[in-house]
Structure 1
Amino acid sequence: MAAGFLVTLYEYSPLFYISVVSLCFVITAAMVLGWCGFDVPVILRNSEETESIVSTPERQMVQVTNPFTLVLGSGPACVTGGVSVRPCCLEPCVLSCFWGCEVIALQRALQAHQHGLRLHTPEHFQEALHLQYQYYQRFHISVENREEYRTQIPSDQGITDFGPLPREHYPLVAVLTVADAGARHTYNIVASVTVIHVPDDKYDLSARVLFQYLLTSQGNMYELKTYMLNCC
Structure 2
Amino acid sequence: MQRVSSVFALDIADSNTASLAGGVTLSVHCLVPCVLTCYWGCALGAVHAVLQGHARRLPTLRSPQQMEMALGGDYLHREQFAISKDEKVLQRVELPDALRGGDLGGVPRLRYPLVVLLTHAEHRPQPRAPDMVALLTCVHLPDPVHSVSCRVLHQLLLTHSGLSYDLKRLFMSTDAPEDSQSDEGVTSQVLPEVRAEGQVAAQDEEDGDGRGGACRDCVVCQNAKVNRVLLPCRHTCLCDHCVQYFRQCPMCRQMIQFSFPLNPD
TM-score (norm. length: structure 1): 0.68
Task: Report the CA distance shift for 1:134/1:227 in structure 2 as closer, same or farther (over 3 A).
Answer: farther
Q: In the TM superposition, what whole-angstrom CA distance separates every residue of 1:101-138 from its partner, at most 9, and x where no partner exists?
A: 00000000000011121111111111111111111111
- Counterpart residue type for residue 154 of structure 2: F
Whether 1:146 and 2:88 are equivalent positions in the alignment is yes
1:1-232 aligned at under 5 Å gives the runs: 61-74=1-14, 76-116=17-57, 117-158=59-100, 160-182=102-124, 185=127, 188-226=131-169
Three-state SS of the structure 2 residue aligned to 1:143 is coil
1:158 deviates by 4.6
| 1:149 CA displacement | 0.5
Cα 1:106–1:159 shift into 2, 3 Å: farther
Give the distance between the partners of 2:65 and 2:101, measured in 1 at CA. Answer: 24
In 2, the alpha carbon distance for the partners of 1:200 and 1:158 equals: 10
Q: Deviations over 1:51-89 (max 9, x none)?
A: xxxxxxxxxx33221111101013721111100001111
> Structure 1 residues 139, 100: closer, same or farther in 2, change over 3 A?
same
**One-letter code aligned to 2:46:** A
Cα separation, 1, equivalents of 2:126 and 2:9? 16
In 1, distance between residues paired with 2:29 and 2:97? 28
Quick one: percent identity of the two aligned structures? 36
Question: Pairwise CA RMSD of aligned residues?
Answer: 2.2
Q: Which runs of 5+ in 1 are unaligned?
A: 1-60
Q: Provide the TM-score with structure 2 as the length reference.
A: 0.60
- Contact 1:114 1:219 (8 Å CA) reproduced: yes
After the TM superposition, which of the residue ranges 158-167 and 87-96 deviates more from structure 2?
158-167
Q: CA deviation at 1:179?
A: 0.4
The separation in 2 between residues aligned to 1:220 and 1:199, in whole angstroms, is 31
Q: If each structure's helix is expressed as a fraction of its own residues, which one has the higher value?
A: 1
Task: Give the secondary-structure state (helix, strand or coil) at the position aligned to 1:185.
Answer: coil
What SS does the corresponding residue of 1:182 show, helix, strand or coil?
coil
Following the alignment from structure 2 to structure 1, what is the Cα–Cα distance between the partners of residues 101 and 64? 23
Where relative contact order (Cα < 8 A, 6+ residues apart) is larger, the structure is 1
Determine which structure has the larger strand proportion and give its number: 2
| Unaligned 5+ runs, structure 2 | 172-179, 183-265
Structure 2: how far apart are the matches of 1:149 and 1:73? 9
Q: Name the SS of the counterpart of 2:19 in structure 1.
A: coil
